[in-house]
Structure 1
Amino acid sequence: MTQHHPTLNDVVDTFHSLYPPHLAESWDASGLIAGRGERTVQKILFAVDAVSATAEEAVREEAQLLITHHPLLLKGANFIPAQEYKGAVLHTLIENKVGLLAAHTNADSAVDGVNEAIADLLRLRDVQILADEQIQERDGSQHTVGLGRVGRLEQPLSLRELAQSLAEILPATTGGLRIAGDPEMKVERVALCGGAGDSLFDELRASDADVYVTADLRHHPASELRERALVEGTGRPALIDCSHFASEWLWLNRGAQTLQQALAERGFQVECEVSTLNTDPWDFHVSTGSVSGSVSTTGLV
């Protein structure tokens, strides 16, 4: 079959067949943000964030489309002058004929999305959706989708070993990993959620997971969850808190490969690349406390 380059409309249609927009949460703003549908697409760049650096990278790489996980206009904008952050990103892309497509919570929930990418990299078995819901399609069929995943490790590991394994597959970030729990406790059932996941604590407890891997854990929800686990005498679930950027970066290669293959099956030739930029917002780390200080570090990993 002779292959030719797709239009932007072709790419968006194919992409949305993989990561349907109706899977997105009601507050989300996923979808095509900018770009002329009739323009030809030869190269696509995947990135976590739509920021000035990734927009400029897309231009340098001569891409015709930038696909990001985080929507640029999630909180909306009344004006987009070039001197403002969001305007600068859009002007850079539009003036260089680069489209912008966001796939946020629809990529979280979809098959082969963010959460399943993490589950696969941890080699989890018997993977199920952590917070599921039934979606009814236009043809009347129903299927289960949702945020987060839960499954079993190939063999039990200590909490420390699991954290070390996770650290090896994540990109380098300033914050690294924060862990709550006995470092030598054995864990087998793992729950996870790419990005901020403390809104799923009720589902986490119901899953009977030994440990929860997620990002952006806030003090009060994390403290209450851990106190409850200690009072109950189980110490479970332990918590592994990683960089928001890093947890979602793990999907980019899968997303790029899946889209490129799907386009090829439709007779289209396109090159999909993953951004080489680390857009985690934190630049450096300084440890707090001192050797001579009076603050106890008991229990810290």
Structure 2
Amino acid sequence: MKISAITSYLERIAPLSYQESYDNSGLIVGNPNDTVQRVLIALDCTEAVVDEAIEKGCGLIITHHPIVFKGLKKFNGKNYVERVVLKAIKNDIALYAIHTNLDNVLGGVNSKIAEKLGLENTAILNPKSGLIKKLTVFVPRTHVESVRTALFEAGAGAIGDYDECSFNSIGYGTFRAGQDANPTLGEIGQQERVEETKIEVVFPSFKERSILVAMYSAHPYEEVAHDLITLENTLHQVGSGIIGNLPSGQTEAEFLGYLKEKLNLSVIRHTPYLDKEVVRVAICGGAGSFLLEHAKRSGANVFVTGDFKYHEFFDAEDSLVIADIGHFESEQYTQELLFDLLHEEFVDLPLLLTEVNTNPVKYYY
């Protein structure tokens, strides 16, 4: 199977435009037109994981964390990043990462944790804005239906649980074709007045190219009059963290025991109990301290995440219990998530979960 078929599918689920500015998701090593026989899935790409891919005949490694975050200026093998990239290239193994873009979508990393905990009525904890665009296009009456249908088929007009949404207003447009024009309507040098419909649709910004292609293909005019603007509306399906409710309330001690059991944890670092019932739980896989204030405002009783620093625990300020379960531990089921997503789409593609524990943090009991 071509690498591009696999990565295109993943990017429909978690578009690369949804990743954070510091991130480096996508195809890091390899040619998208190459074909692979097997795929290895891991949380991190280490030398041991590449060795495993070589041994098992996997031409593509899909990980959550990118092996390269910053530009590499030299390839001398002086650190593990350079050695991993060199080994992958030498053995014709492609490396693909799906990181914060998978964190930032419903059905992604945080949704998987919420599923493991049985949370209900889940929603994005901190939805993003600025990811929605609005297209306004002016169409002669004869082509309104075909242009509108083309826009819908390209992915425009979806709002929440509704699709084929548009606003249409009727008016007329004027134009005069120049000497070098090839007008669909009217004569060169004469002002024309044409009854037109203004079609307005919204769409996620990552679909812009396909929607504009559809518009130009369906529109009869040589020059298509249209406006394209970015909206500040919040896209509630995209953003950081997850908030949800337990099926029934638990004491704080009961919930931490439940958390430890459901996520197979060795240890949990947490702030003092507040003697409150735990019903509402906020989640952020990986390093989530940046979402603490959002967790407070959401009414969460516990915030489950990783990588809290010592002084950041004080910021709970008796509003909730912070439960730091560790970075790896909070994202360990991302491998299972990726396996399930890929298997559902590519039933005949051999998928392997790594047998390497890539967690660099160990615990002494």
Under TM normalisation by the shorter chain, which class is it?
0.7 to 0.9
Matched, 1:262 2:348: no
User: What SS does the aligned partner of 1:90 have?
Assistant: helix
- Cα deviation, 1:83-119, whole Å, max 9, x if unaligned, reads 4311211122222221100111001012321000001
Q: Give 1 or 2: higher strand fraction.
A: 2
Following superposition, the deviation at residue 277 of structure 1 comes to 2.0
Q: What residue ranges of structure 2 are gaps of 5+ in the alignment?
A: 135-155, 157-201, 205-234
Report the AA paired with residue 158 of structure 1: T
Aligned with 2:271 (options 180, 183, 200): 180
Report the AA paired with residue 356 of structure 2: L
Report the AA paired with residue 125 of structure 1: E
Tell me the equivalent position of 1:206. 297
Distance in 1, matches of 2:41 and 2:337, equals 10
Tell me the equivalent position of 1:153. 246
Report the AA paired with residue 214 of structure 1: T
Distance in 2, matches of 1:191 and 1:274, equals 28
TM-score in terms of structure 1 length: 0.83
Following superposition, the deviation at residue 281 of structure 1 comes to 1.2
Matched, 1:114 2:193: no
Distance in 2, matches of 1:221 and 1:124, equals 26
User: What SS does the aligned partner of 1:128 have?
Assistant: strand
Following superposition, the deviation at residue 132 of structure 1 comes to 0.6
Report the AA paired with residue 250 of structure 2: L
Tell me the equivalent position of 2:121. 126
Matched, 1:66 2:64: no
Conserved 8 A contact 1:93-1:100? yes
Give 1:157-168 correspondences, 5 Å limit. 157-168=250-261
Matched, 1:103 2:98: yes
Following superposition, the deviation at residue 171 of structure 1 comes to 4.8
Aligned with 1:90 (options 82, 85, 89): 85
Conserved 8 A contact 2:106-2:124? no
Conserved 8 A contact 2:268-2:323? yes
Distance in 2, matches of 1:271 and 1:184, equals 49
Following superposition, the deviation at residue 283 of structure 1 comes to 2.8
Conserved 8 A contact 1:8-1:40? yes
Tell me the equivalent position of 2:50. 55
Distance in 1, matches of 2:34 and 2:101, equals 25
Distance in 2, matches of 1:137 and 1:249, equals 35
Following superposition, the deviation at residue 263 of structure 1 comes to 3.1
- Cα deviation, 1:112-134, whole Å, max 9, x if unaligned, reads 21000001110000101111113
Distance in 2, matches of 1:187 and 1:171, equals 20
Matched, 1:141 2:232: no
Tell me the equivalent position of 2:176. none
Distance in 2, matches of 1:170 and 1:60, equals 30
- 126-135 or 136-145, which deviates more: 136-145
Following superposition, the deviation at residue 276 of structure 1 comes to 2.1
User: What SS does the aligned partner of 1:147 have?
Assistant: strand
Distance in 2, matches of 1:190 and 1:170, equals 15
User: What SS does the aligned partner of 1:80 have?
Assistant: coil
Q: Structure 1 residues 273, 131: closer, same or farther in 2, change over 3 A? A: same
Distance in 1, matches of 2:57 and 2:38, equals 7
Report the AA paired with residue 315 of structure 2: E
TM-score in terms of structure 2 length: 0.69
Aligned with 1:245 (options 328, 333, 343): 328
- Cα deviation, 1:131-163, whole Å, max 9, x if unaligned, reads 111322684325421010000001111222222
User: What SS does the aligned partner of 2:248 have?
Assistant: strand
Following superposition, the deviation at residue 194 of structure 1 comes to 0.2
Following superposition, the deviation at residue 168 of structure 1 comes to 2.2
Tell me the equivalent position of 1:215. 306
Report the AA paired with residue 353 of structure 2: V
Conserved 8 A contact 1:151-1:189? yes
User: What SS does the aligned partner of 2:346 have?
Assistant: helix
Distance in 1, matches of 2:285 and 2:52, equals 24
Q: Structure 1 residues 270, 118: closer, same or farther in 2, change over 3 A? A: same
- 72-81 or 202-211, which deviates more: 72-81
Coordinate RMSD, CA, aligned: 1.9
The higher radius of gyration belongs to 2
Tell me the equivalent position of 2:28. 33
Q: Structure 1 residues 172, 190: closer, same or farther in 2, change over 3 A? A: closer
Distance in 1, matches of 2:21 and 2:362, equals 33
Conserved 8 A contact 1:22-1:106? yes
